[in-house]
Amino acid sequence: MTVQTERPPSGPVDVAKRAESGPAGPGRRAASRLGPLTPYLLLLPACAATVLLLGWPLLKDVLLSFQNLNMAQLIQHVTEWNGIDNYKEVLTGEDFWRVTLRSILFTAVNVVLIMILGALVGLLLARLGRRMRVTLMIGLVLAWAMPVVAATTVYQWLFAQRFGVVNWVLDKLGWHSMADYSWTSSQMSTFFVVTVLIVWQSIPFVAINLYAATTTIPSELYEAASLDGAGGWQSFTTVTLPFLRPFLYATTFLEVIWVFKAFVQVFTINGGGPDRLTEILPVYAYIEGVGNQHYGMGAAIAVLTILILLGLTAYYLRIVLKQEEEEV
């Protein structure tokens, strides 16, 4: 009986029978007896999956990072522990620090652009008339919905050296040296394409959510502000901005995570090239580990990457943890 109360009845017949048996059936009492355990049982599958499918790979990653694991060891299935050698090699090498700095700069530039432009588009949405707003929303949603791999391919075509639209437009605008420009030939131009792609795809999320948030601001607040003599800019800084602050924090946090992990865009556009100059941390870990078959090294880089990501998001995580504590 106790087990039955845990599971939904198997069929409609079952339901009908149980419903007839009245409110004071024995199932009730059994449920209350089981009460304290029920939430844990309900959470058990999710926790088991998390431990097995997320916890284990994480642990495995840490373990691998202390092993000398290259092609030879991989084929022969041998485990060679080598202590902190991988970390020593990674941390004393120049590459890792250069890539780390590059990743952080890349993330910062993208997130700042996304947040500022996204917020501006969001505020614009709030100001537009209904018809214009819906039109712009449709455009935003289309960009947002484009699958990343497809979007990356499209951007390669837009920025193609031959017959690419971007080069054609630049040429027509009088910038004739760009007519046959190869965007993947240098570090900055590759990053430029990746950044345009990421910003284009991320603005809609920020803009549409920000617009949705502004619609929940009570209009009394604006009325009160204008009674107090606040102008447009003042009512923006005293009403709109404070109201949107939690939302802006949360979105920035999400964007930091998303941009920092932008493996697919960077990897597909140019494979981290030219000359490995556009490798960001996830791509670096992949190319060192899988590409160059230094699996142990790759694992060490991965562990360090995770720590850096935690560091970057620590500030917001602390806020959220506190919030969650107050709420319960």
Partner 1 sequence: MKRSLFGRLWPNVTAVVLFIGFVFPVYWMFATAFKPTGDIISEDPVWFPTDITFEHFKRATGVDHFWTYVTNSLIVTLCAVVLALVIALAGSFALARMRFKGRRGFVIGFMLAQMAPWEVMIIAMYMIVRDASMLNSLVPLTVFYMMMILPFTILTLRGFVAAVPRELEEAAMVDGCTRAQAFRKVILPLLAPGLMSTSLFGFITAWNEFPLVLVLNKETEAQTLPLWLSSFQTAFGNDWGATMAASSLFAIPILILFVFLQRRAVSGLTAGAVKG
Of residues 110 through 149, those in contact with partner 1 by CB under 8 A are: 121, 124, 127-129, 132-133, 135-136, 138-149
Closer Cβ to partner 1, 64 or 239, answer by number: 64
3-state secondary structure of 81: strand
Beta-carbon contacts of residue 225 (< 8 Å; ≥ 6 apart)? 234, 235, 238, 239
Residue numbers 60-79 binding partner 1 by CB under 8 A? 60-61, 64
Closer Cβ to partner 1, 15 or 72, answer by number: 15
Q: Which residue bears the tokens 């009730």? A: 28
Q: What angle do CA 147, 148, 153 make, to 5 degrees?
A: 100
Beta-carbon contacts of residue 64 (< 8 Å; ≥ 6 apart)? 295, 296, 299
Taking every pair of Cα atoms in the chain, the longest distance, rounded to a whole number of angstroms, is 85
Closer Cβ to partner 1, 53 or 188, answer by number: 53
- The answer to whether 166 touches 108, Cβ cutoff 8 Å, is no
Per CB under 8 A, 178 contacts partner 1? no
Residue numbers 211-270 binding partner 1 by CB under 8 A? 212-213, 246-247, 250-251, 254, 257, 260-261, 263-264, 267-268
In the complex, minimum distance from the CB of residue 275 to partner 1, in angstroms, rounded to a whole number:
19
Closer Cβ to partner 1, 237 or 323, answer by number: 323
Residue numbers 260-319 binding partner 1 by CB under 8 A? 260-261, 263-264, 267-268, 281-282, 285-286, 289-290, 295, 298-299, 301-302, 305-306, 309, 313, 317
Closer Cβ to partner 1, 84 or 142, answer by number: 142
3-state secondary structure of 23: coil
227 DSSP assignment: H
Beta-carbon contacts of residue 193 (< 8 Å; ≥ 6 apart)? 155, 159, 183, 184, 269
Residue numbers 180-199 binding partner 1 by CB under 8 A? none
Per CB under 8 A, 5 contacts partner 1? yes
Per CB under 8 A, 154 contacts partner 1? yes
Q: Which of 209, 222, 230, 243 binds partner 1 (CB under 8 A)?
A: 209
In the complex, minimum distance from the CB of residue 190 to partner 1, in angstroms, rounded to a whole number:
15
In the complex, minimum distance from the CB of residue 207 to partner 1, in angstroms, rounded to a whole number:
9
Closer Cβ to partner 1, 87 or 263, answer by number: 263
- The answer to whether 27 touches 1, Cβ cutoff 8 Å, is yes
In the complex, minimum distance from the CB of residue 112 to partner 1, in angstroms, rounded to a whole number:
19
Q: Which of 17, 49, 97, 185 binds partner 1 (CB under 8 A)?
A: 49
Phi and psi, residue 115, nearest 5°: -70, -45
Closer Cβ to partner 1, 39 or 229, answer by number: 39
In the complex, minimum distance from the CB of residue 197 to partner 1, in angstroms, rounded to a whole number:
9
* Long-range contacts of 187-191, Cβ-Cβ distance < 8 Å, separation of 24 or more: 187/274, 187/277, 187/278, 190/269, 190/270, 190/273, 190/274, 190/277, 190/278, 191/106, 191/278
Residue numbers 81-110 binding partner 1 by CB under 8 A? none
Closer Cβ to partner 1, 30 or 221, answer by number: 30
3-state secondary structure of 218: coil
294 phi-psi bin (left φ>0, alpha ψ -120 to 50, beta other): beta
The stretch among 87-95, 107-115, 160-168, 187-195 that binds partner 1 (CB under 8 A) is 160-168
Per CB under 8 A, 2 contacts partner 1? no
Distance between CA 87 and CA 90 in Å, rounded?
Answer: 5
The stretch among 40-48, 97-105, 185-193, 233-241 that binds partner 1 (CB under 8 A) is 40-48
